Amino acid sequence: MQEYDAIVVGSGISGGWAAKELCEKGLKTLVLERGPNVEHIKDYKTASMDPWEFKYHLANPMSDVAESPIQSRVYNQGSKHFFVNDSQHPYIQDTPFSWVRGYQVGGRSLTWGRQCYRWSDLDFEANAKDGHGVDWPIRYKDIAPWYDYVEQYIGVSGNLEGLPQLPDGKFLPPFDLNCVEADFAQKTKAKYKDRIVTIARVANLSRGWNGRGPCQSRNLCERGCPFSGYFSSNAATLPAAALTGNLTMIPNSVVVSLIWDAKKSKVTGVTVIDAETKQTREYFAKIIFLNASTINTAAILLRSVTKEHPNGIGNASGQVGKNLMDHFTFSGAKGEHPGLKDNYYQGRRAFGIYVPRFRNLGPDSMRTDYVRGFGYQGAGQRLGWNEKMGADDFGAGFKESISTPGPWEMILGTYGETLPNEKNGITFDKDKKDQWGLPILHISLEYGDNENAMRQDGIKTAVEMLEAAGMKNVSIMDYRNPPGSAVHEMGTARMGRDPKTSVLNEHNQLHEAKNVFITDGACMSSSGCQNPSLTYMALTARACDFAVSELKKMNL
Ligand SMILES: Cc1cc2nc3c(=O)[nH]c(=O)nc-3n(C[C@H](O)[C@H](O)[C@H](O)COP(=O)(O)OP(=O)(O)OC[C@H]3O[C@@H](n4cnc5c(N)ncnc54)[C@H](O)[C@@H]3O)c2cc1C
């Protein structure tokens, strides 16, 4: 029997960080990943293909929509191979829920949108103040140095704004706003004292950084970047872990459950099914990091049923699998800019603008109809650009049409906070099994009055802001895509102060098994309104530091 110092389950954004930190601190670390290997650059098979080189031009054929109705809403033919096939990985939607997944080495770090925003004490104190969910056992000061640490490694480009609700980070130089965004930013600043428009903070490298990049602004990130121009596990953390000589990576390993040793009264390893041969194996280690992503990590705990843990290891509180959250998006407004018609831009850019939260910050901004808040993500672009790109994106006529000055539009999309609610979560089907013999999941997440009131305010306020900046023909967007569509699912094994009402303590340790750490989105006690992955990375680096120091003290 080979025993490792550490096992990391999953190699996506948070698992890649756990692998790097543990390996660099000298631990012989085994990473178990359920999907196949994706080697940086070599396996980015579509990275430099032009639209006309794809059979359907990049568009998804109806057969894809039938086989993969959820994932095909997110991928195109250039990135399809980095998403699961829904038919092969079924789940049951008790209420509509889009579960967007990428099962491969690197997970969704290959396809993510790269927006990186810090949380503040506004977020860490929210549960305690308004009584939804349980109090976070940490505050901003506990995580701030770890935000510094991960930002300095991954490389986040952005502007310093000095806002308490969206703390500044250690940024690389920002990318530029385009002309309509700059105009919108200037007019917003003139009109509103309480809000700003800033360039999106993204893990795209505005200059060469740690041997990677710079970003070439190709806007093809979701295919994998041969220039290492954005942060992914494959480009950054996994190679760093491998460089130490301490990493063992075994792809195609579906982790089923934790192994409980009743004599030692502790978790000693994990059980795995080989994704291809379907054979069962066991691996053992002193500490275990679960980073299989929010829903899969909760499923591993719920499958870890023992005599001592009839509801699954870590689940004495009954909270595992509950409190599932996702940001609500796809609502807002857009409007036409009446000027700037002598401007056009060439080339591409992989992101747009951000309007940080300005609701419920203090006495001047309190709402009576909802708690918490939202931010806007958006962009200024040539009017009708998306339609054009879809329908007619090659040839001399197309080239001329996009390089000729013309009208612009500005779009604002709401990213709103979802409250933790025990009713939202996952359970197992009693009869149905997947191809590995594991029970199929039921998922449900419904937005409540708070989210609905916030959504309406987000739409109304977007209209007001666009009109105040002089946009014409402003129209609302209210697509009401199912929860899950923001791909920010979190909350199914929350941190808390009390083992009776939470699953993890302030160090991301299971209250019930101190050598098991969870640092993916499952650990989140609330959802904030900022994109969450930067916080998962910072919590992971922090928990690794703690785990190794506890190991050295023989406390685990
Ligand atoms: C299109 C898109 C845009 C996004 N944009 C942003 C953004 O702008 N900003 C942001 O913060 N976030 C964004 N996200 C979300 C972001 O990708 C996730 O928050 C992040 O990847 C979560 O990291 P993770 O480590 O928890 O999970 P993942 O990155 O999903 O990795 C989990 C890994 O675990 C593996 N795994 C699962 N189950 C098992 C098992 N039983 N055994 C072994 N391995 C297992 C999976 O195969 C996978 O490799 C976006 C996601 C998508 C798809």
How much is the average pLDDT of 27-32? Answer: 98
Asked if the model's pLDDT at residue 397 lies above 90, the reply is no
Using pLDDT thresholds of 50, 70 and 90, give the confidence band for residue 395: confident
Which atom of ligand 1 is found nearest the CA of 13? 25
Protein residue closest via CA to atom 26 of ligand 1: 293
Using pLDDT thresholds of 50, 70 and 90, give the confidence band for residue 293: very high
Model pTM score: 0.97
pLDDT at 389: 58
What does the DSSP assignment read for 171-214? EEPPPPP-HHHHHHHHHHHHH-SS---EE--BSB-SS-BTTB--
Distance 112 CA to ligand 1 centre (A): 8
> Which tens digit of pLDDT belongs to each residue from 75-121?
999 999 999 999 999 999 999 999 999 999 999 999 999 999 999 99
Under DSSP, the state recorded for 55 is T
Protein residue closest via CA to atom 31 of ligand 1: 12
Protein residue closest via CA to atom 7 of ligand 1: 113
Mutating to test ligand 1, I would choose from 8, 91, 100, 108 the residue with most ligand atoms within 8 A of its C-beta, which is: 108
How much is the average pLDDT of 240-254? Answer: 98
Using pLDDT thresholds of 50, 70 and 90, give the confidence band for residue 399: confident
Protein residue closest via CA to atom 5 of ligand 1: 113
Distance 13 CA to ligand 1 centre (A): 6
Protein residue closest via CA to atom 23 of ligand 1: 13
> Which helix (H) or strand (E) covers residue 162, if one does?
none
Asked if the model's pLDDT at residue 327 lies above 80, the reply is yes
d(CA 349, CA 229): 12
Under DSSP, the state recorded for 284 is E
Which atom of ligand 1 is found nearest the CA of 256? 41
Q: Which two tokens stand for residue 360?
A: 């419920």
**Pocket around ligand 1 at a 6 A CB cut-off:** 9-15, 32-35, 74, 100, 102-104, 107-109, 111-115, 253-255, 291-293, 296, 300, 487-488, 520-521, 531-533, 536
Distance 309 CA to ligand 1 centre (A): 28
Mutating to test ligand 1, I would choose from 73, 117, 293, 519 the residue with most ligand atoms within 8 A of its C-beta, which is: 293
Is the bond preceding residue 214 a cis peptide, omega within 30 degrees? Answer: yes
Mutating to test ligand 1, I would choose from 98, 487, 508 the residue with most ligand atoms within 8 A of its C-beta, which is: 487
pLDDT at 345: 66
pLDDT at 7: 98
Asked if the model's pLDDT at residue 391 lies above 60, the reply is no
Distance 68 CA to ligand 1 centre (A): 18
> Which tens digit of pLDDT belongs to each residue from 352-385?
999 999 999 999 999 999 999 999 999 998 887 6
Q: How far apart are the first and last CA of the chain?
A: 20
Nearest Cα residue to 107 out of 36, 195, 6: 36
Q: Which two tokens stand for residue 175?
A: 């990318």
Asked if the model's pLDDT at residue 1 lies above 70, the reply is no
Exposed e or buried b for every residue in 415-428, given b needs 16+ CB within 10 A?
Answer: bbbbbbbeebbbeb
Distance 487 CA to ligand 1 centre (A): 8
How many angstroms separate the Cα of 79 from the Cα of each of 57, 93, 222, 289? Answer: 13, 25, 6, 28
pLDDT at 162: 98
pLDDT at 390: 53
d(CA 31, CA 8): 5
HSE-up (13 A, CA, CB side) for residue 356: 25
pLDDT at 466: 98
Contacts of 175 (CB under 8 A, 6+ apart): 157, 199, 202, 204, 206, 217, 349, 351
